Amino acid sequence: MSMSFYHSQISKIKERNSVDYIKIKHNDKFITLKLVDESEETIHLLTEWRKLYRHMFASNFRMDEERTKKWIKQKRSTSDQSILFMIYLDGKKVGNIGTDMFNENENSVELDNMMKDPNCQESGLMTIVEKVYLKWMFDNLKLSKICGRLFTDNFRMLNAHLACGWKIIDVSPLKKELTDEGWIWKETKLQSEDEFGERYFHVIELTREDLMKKFGGIEYEILF
């Protein structure tokens, strides 16, 4: 699939602004996905969640609301090929999910942003959201596969991904590089079998076929 098709579909969503896009029924409640908005509430929530989960990201830096505001503006731009949705549970913002890094040669994207408000105790919410969101990505953007990277010690997220059908295809060693504001974990090559990475990534992939084996009878509606 060409970049032009992928980008045109993403642009259509962004042009419609933050309207209800995907609705999922779960335990007699409704989960709704909307394009990320630029409200003060969303800026504050994303900043606080990013601080909370800082050790589960490949980079750490000074986080503040002004920086988050600029990041959201970039995500909403039609010239940007990534997309980010806010997750609502019965009208309350409880998380976010998004993808980035379209690879035209592999016709793939990378799941790169998925967080839940720690105060939300709704069981199974993120697994259901992930399944529906990724099915939408395959069905509407005609992707061949979806890729991801997560730290090997992020057990909760790994279990959630495996429940959706993801497969671990590699383990990549990492080296921490210090920056002016914090650090970046970068993939590295080990020089010998006796050498160890400071930390490791699981490299994971998902196909539509593997997702559908785990999908189940989830009730959802695409509102676009």
Q: What is the pLDDT of residues 47-62, one digit of tens each?
A: 999 999 999 999 999 9
- Strand (E) or helix (H) holding 130: helix 125-141
200 and 152 in contact (C-beta within 8 Å)?
yes
Average pLDDT over residues 167-176: 97
Whole-angstrom distance, CA of residue 108 vs CA of residue 111? 10
Q: What is the pLDDT of residues 95-121, one digit of tens each?
A: 999 999 999 999 999 999 999 999 999
Q: Is it the case that residue 192 has pLDDT exceeding 90?
A: no
Average pLDDT over residues 178-186: 95
Closest CA to 171 of 186, 192, 185, 150: 150
pLDDT above 70 coverage of the chain, percent: 98
Q: Is it the case that residue 2 has pLDDT exceeding 70?
A: no
What's residue 3's pLDDT? 64
Q: What is the pLDDT of residues 124-154, one digit of tens each?
A: 999 999 999 999 999 999 999 999 999 999 9
Q: Is it the case that residue 181 has pLDDT exceeding 60?
A: yes
What's residue 166's pLDDT? 98
User: Which residues fall within 8 angstroms of residue 22, CB to CB, at 6 or more apart?
Assistant: 32, 33, 85, 132, 133, 136, 220, 221, 222, 223
- Strand (E) or helix (H) holding 128: helix 125-141
Q: Which domains does the chain have, with CATH numbers?
A: 3-222 (3.40.630.30)
Average pLDDT over residues 165-184: 96
What's residue 194's pLDDT? 83
